[in-house]
């Protein structure tokens, strides 16, 4: 599963980061994130050092408010550190402009959220096509559609490709969201509580999709409250 669709995550003509695969894929160096509040700065991350290698499946667990989502936001470039460095695929992403950051993220990182974040007015296949449209990858609309259908087939949801997200279950929506995260064949998948809104059986199926992706060379960084799932990752 996934072998024909997903590669190791080296640079290519679609603009994905190369990096030195002898170096970490993700490298956070003394990262601090402070948020301003009426009563002073709130330190969400305090001097975080973190490395994640190519092909690793890493889980982060912790109490609510401990900084897990903030850490995800540093790795994905959704937010920027107050100080410190965030280097992904050899690129110091904390120095990128907003436009360059959006382009880099679209090609290099697939993000999976707890509440799916599918656009309700688009069909499921159109939701998967959207990142390719945004990033200009895979040579136009027919290729986008064909690839999107392949991805939906891989996550066993192809029969619902032309329905709206509201017409399928939460677990099925999460499968669509996973397919969307893989649309541009990014080397990194970042999942923030991806099974937190799912029943145990559906969560297990989603986790198996992640395991298959890692077996095909993807790197996954997952935030979870599920300690049983966390025990099954590399680190």
What does the pLDDT look like over 3-39, one tens digit per residue?
333 333 344 444 555 556 678 999 999 999 999 999 9
Q: Mark the ranges of the chain whose per-residue pLDDT is less than 50.
A: 1-14
Q: Which long-range contacts (CB under 8 A, 24 or more apart) does 92-98 make?
A: none
Residues 6+ apart with CB under 8 A from 134: 106
pLDDT tens, 165-180?
999 998 899 899 999 9
Task: Report pTM.
Answer: 0.84
Q: Give Rg (Cα) of the chain.
A: 17
Give the Cα separation of 82 and 38 in Å (integer): 18
Best CA proximity match to 134, nearest among 115, 110, 162: 110
């Amino acid at each position: 599963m996934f072998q024909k669709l997903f590669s190791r995550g080296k640079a290519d003509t679609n603009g994905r980061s190369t990096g030195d695969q002898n170096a970490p894929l993700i490298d956070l160096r003394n990262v601090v994130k402070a948020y301003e509040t009426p009563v002073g700065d709130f330190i969400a991350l305090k001097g975080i050092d973190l490395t994640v290698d190519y092909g690793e499946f890493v889980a982060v667990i912790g109490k609510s408010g401990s900084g897990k989502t903030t850490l995800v936001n540093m790795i994905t470039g959704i937010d920027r550190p107050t100080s410190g460095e965030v280097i992904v695929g050899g690129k110091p992403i904390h120095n990128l402009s907003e436009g360059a950051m959006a382009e880099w993220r679209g090609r290099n990182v697939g993000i999976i959220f707890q509440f799916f974040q599918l656009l309700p007015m688009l069909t499921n296949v159109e939701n998967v096509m959207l990142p390719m449209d945004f990033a200009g990858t895979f040579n136009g609309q027919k290729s986008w559609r064909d690839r999107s259908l392949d991805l939906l087939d891989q996550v066993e949801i192809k029969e619902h490709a032309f329905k709206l997200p509201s017409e399928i279950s939460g677990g099925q929506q999460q499968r669509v969201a996973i397919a969307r995260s893989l649309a541009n064949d990014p080397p990194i998948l970042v999942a923030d509580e991806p099974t937190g809104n799912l029943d145990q059986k559906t969560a297990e199926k989603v986790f198996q999709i992640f395991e298959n992706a890692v077996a095909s060379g993807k790197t996954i960084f997952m935030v979870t409250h599920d300690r049983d799932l966390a025990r099954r990752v590399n680190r």
